[in-house]
Amino acid sequence: MRSKLMILLVLINFAAQAQDIFKRELGLMGSNFDITVIADSKKEAENYIDLAVVEMQRIEELISSWKSTSQTSAINRNAGLKPVQVDNELFQLIKRSIAISKITDGAFDISFAAIDKIWVFNGEETQVPDKALISSSVNAIGYKNIKLDEKNSTVFLTQKGMKIGFGAIGKGYAADKAKSLLMEKGVSGGIINASGDMNAWGLQPKGELWKVAITNPMDNSKNYGLFDLKNNAVVTSGNYEKFLLIDGERYAHIIDPRTGMPTKGILSVTVFAPKAELADALATSIFVMGSEVGLNMINQLPDVEAIIVKNDGSLATSTHINITTP
C-alpha cells in the first residue's frame, strides 16, 4: 500500500583499508533491495549477502498474504471460522503490530488489508469508489478483532471478511532480521536497504558513520542535508508516485484504516528509529494522523525522530531535527 521515497546512501570508501565496501542490488518481496556490507574480499561479501537474501526470502514465505502457502494466508482464510496456530516469530510480529495500533489509535492497523482491493491507484480512477463498498470494507478492519492466544500461539480474526497484511511493516522487519543475522555472522558494518527501509550498523572502513541524504520530494536534485546512521534505521514514505487527483483534491495512496479513505495533506514522511520495523509503521501512521498529531506522538517516543514534508512544500520536524529547506 506504500511506495518509498528515494533515500540516497552516501558511501565513503577508503581503498587503503584492509576491508572494503561491497554492494548488491536485487529484487525481493516485489521491490528493489540493495545490501551493503563491509568485508575482506568480494567472495566473503557475496557469501554474507547470500545469507541475508535467504533470510529475507524466508520471511516473505512466512508473512506474505499473496502466497497461499504462508501462515498469514492461513490466518486470512480462517477469518471468522477458527484460530490458526502459527510460528512464534509471526505471532510476535502480529503482537507488536497490535501494540503500534494502540499507540497510534488505529492509524496503523495490519487488518487494513480488507480494503486493499477497493483503491487501485492505476492512474485511471476519476472518482471515489462507491461509499457503500468502502463502508463494508471498513467494517472488516479493526485490530481489536485480532485475537491472540499466547499459550497456544494462535491468531484468530473474529469477523468474516477480515484480512491482515504486512505491506506497511514487512520490509522493515525483513531489513531488521537481515541486519541481525549479518551481525551474528561477524559482519562489522553495513546497510540493508529494503526498498527505502534502511537499517545500518557499524562503521565504514575508516571509522566513518554511514550517512544518508533525504531527498526533496518536490525536486530530487535537492536534499535536506546529510544525516548520520548510528546503528539505527531510517524510512521515508511518499505519495509522489501513487496518488489520485479527484475534483482538484490530491489523495495519497496510503489509506486511513479507520475511514477507508486516502490520506491528504502530506507529501512525504521520514522517520528515524532504532528498528526499521518501527520506523516503517510510524511513517505510515503519520500520514494518517496528520503532521501535528503525528509529531506530538513522535516527540513522546524515545530515540525516534521525524521529518514531514507537507503538500505545500513546508517542513515540520520533531524536536531534535534541525534542517534547512533546500
| 5 within domain boundaries | no
Q: Which residues, in sequence order, are bridge partners of residue 34?
A: 25, 193
Give 240's pLDDT tier (boundaries 50, 70, 90).
low
Question: CA-CA distances (angstroms) from residue 237 to 1, 90, 136, 285, 323?
Answer: 11, 24, 28, 10, 18
- 270 labelled binding-site residue: no
Alpha carbons 102 and 105: distance in angstroms, whole number: 5
Chain segment 251-292, per-residue pLDDT in tens: 778 889 999 988 888 999 999 999 999 999 999 999 999 999
| 140 within domain boundaries | yes
CATH number, domain with residue 100 = 1.10.3980.10
| 277 within domain boundaries | no
The answer to whether residue 75 scores a pLDDT higher than 60 is yes
- 263 labelled binding-site residue: no
With both helix axes pointing from N to C terminus, report the angle between 88-103 and 42-63 in degrees, rounded to the nearest 10. 80
| 182 within domain boundaries | no
- Give Cβ neighbours of residue 308 (< 8 Å, ≥ 6 apart): 266, 268, 269, 270, 286, 291, 294, 295, 315, 316, 317
Question: CA-CA distances (angstroms) from residue 311 to 2, 263, 290?
Answer: 17, 11, 12
178: left (phi over 0), alpha (psi -120 to 50) or beta: alpha
Provide the residue range defining the domain that includes 138.
63-157
- Give the chain's domain count: 1
* Amino acid present at 224: Y
CB-based contact 110:94 (threshold 8 Å): yes
* Amino acid present at 241: E
pTM, rounded to two decimals:
0.90
- 284 labelled binding-site residue: yes
